[in-house]
């Protein structure tokens, strides 16, 4: 009798121990965003630019489903693209994201974030809500859409003050492709890769 109670408690303890204690990747979307947010602030605090950008690449790959985002953002035009264009697009998009956000993370200015709750969207997706506070500026609402993937939890969209990054990006890319075709988009993405590095250092 006593043995079975002890065993039961032991089993319950294992079942309810937090995901992080298992030494594997987080399975709770809220914890996942918390860890990612802490890591990001840590990256921002890194003083060496080169090291900071390398560390950011790691955070990006760990935290974001970049390929899924890339694929969503180009939308229906994917079908019209040939293999070579697809490959180049995937490569350029990754670079585009890196350059866009790396510059944004240069210089830590006292930002903190607070988790304010989460909403389950469906059996795969959860919206994790946060508020980012920054000195002398109004706080920003940022909601992270986290998906269960074969590769663990990944962010597939960020909604800042109700504005979805992937929706905006998709709309922008569609506008360019409509005017200048897929090659026009690739051209601009190539050009973008050259622009901000000189501008922001």
Instruction: Please give the residue ranges that form the binding site for other proteins (CB under 8 A).
Output: 65, 67-72, 75-76, 78-79, 100, 103-104, 119, 121, 124-125, 127, 136, 141, 143, 145, 147, 149, 156-157, 159, 161-164, 166-168, 170-172, 174-176, 178, 185, 188-189, 191-192, 196, 199
Q: For residues 33 and 65, which CB has a smaller minimum distance to other proteins in the complex?
A: 65
Q: How far is the CB of 42 from other proteins (least distance, A)?
A: 22
Q: For residues 20 and 71, which CB has a smaller minimum distance to other proteins in the complex?
A: 71
Sign of the C-alpha dihedral, residues 63, 118, 69, 188?
A: negative
Q: How far is the CB of 60 from other proteins (least distance, A)?
A: 15
Burial class (CB in 10 A: 0-12, 13-18, 19+), 157: buried
Q: How far is the CB of 1 from other proteins (least distance, A)?
A: 49
Q: How far is the CB of 35 from other proteins (least distance, A)?
A: 22
Q: How far is the CB of 188 from other proteins (least distance, A)?
A: 4
Q: For residues 20 and 133, which CB has a smaller minimum distance to other proteins in the complex?
A: 133
Residues 6+ apart with CB under 8 A from 66: 60, 93, 94, 97
Contact between 24 and 114 (Cβ < 8 Å): no
End-to-end Cα, the chain, rounded Å: 70
Contact between 145 and 156 (Cβ < 8 Å): yes
């Amino acid at each position: 009798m006593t043995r079975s109670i002890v065993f039961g408690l032991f089993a319950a303890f294992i079942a309810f121990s937090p995901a992080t204690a298992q030494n594997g990747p987080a399975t709770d979307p809220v914890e996942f965003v918390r860890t990612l947010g802490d890591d990001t602030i840590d990256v921002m605090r890194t003083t060496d630019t080169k090291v900071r950008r390398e560390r950011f690449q790691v955070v990006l790959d760990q935290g974001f489903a970049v390929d899924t985002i890339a694929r969503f953002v180009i939308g229906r035009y994917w079908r019209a693209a040939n293999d070579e264009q697809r490959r180049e697009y995937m490569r350029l998009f990754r670079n585009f994201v890196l350059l866009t956000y790396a510059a944004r993370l240069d210089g830590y200015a006292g930002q903190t974030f607070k988790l304010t709750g989460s909403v389950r969207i469906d059996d795969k997706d959860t919206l994790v809500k946060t508020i980012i506070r920054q000195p002398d500026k109004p706080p920003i609402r940022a909601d992270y859409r986290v998906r269960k993937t074969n590769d663990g939890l990944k962010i597939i969209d960020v909604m800042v003050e109700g504005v979805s990054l992937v929706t905006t990006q998709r709309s922008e890319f569609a506008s360019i492709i409509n005017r200048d075709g897929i090659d026009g988009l690739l051209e601009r993405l190539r050009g973008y890769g050259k622009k901000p590095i000189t501008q922001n250092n």
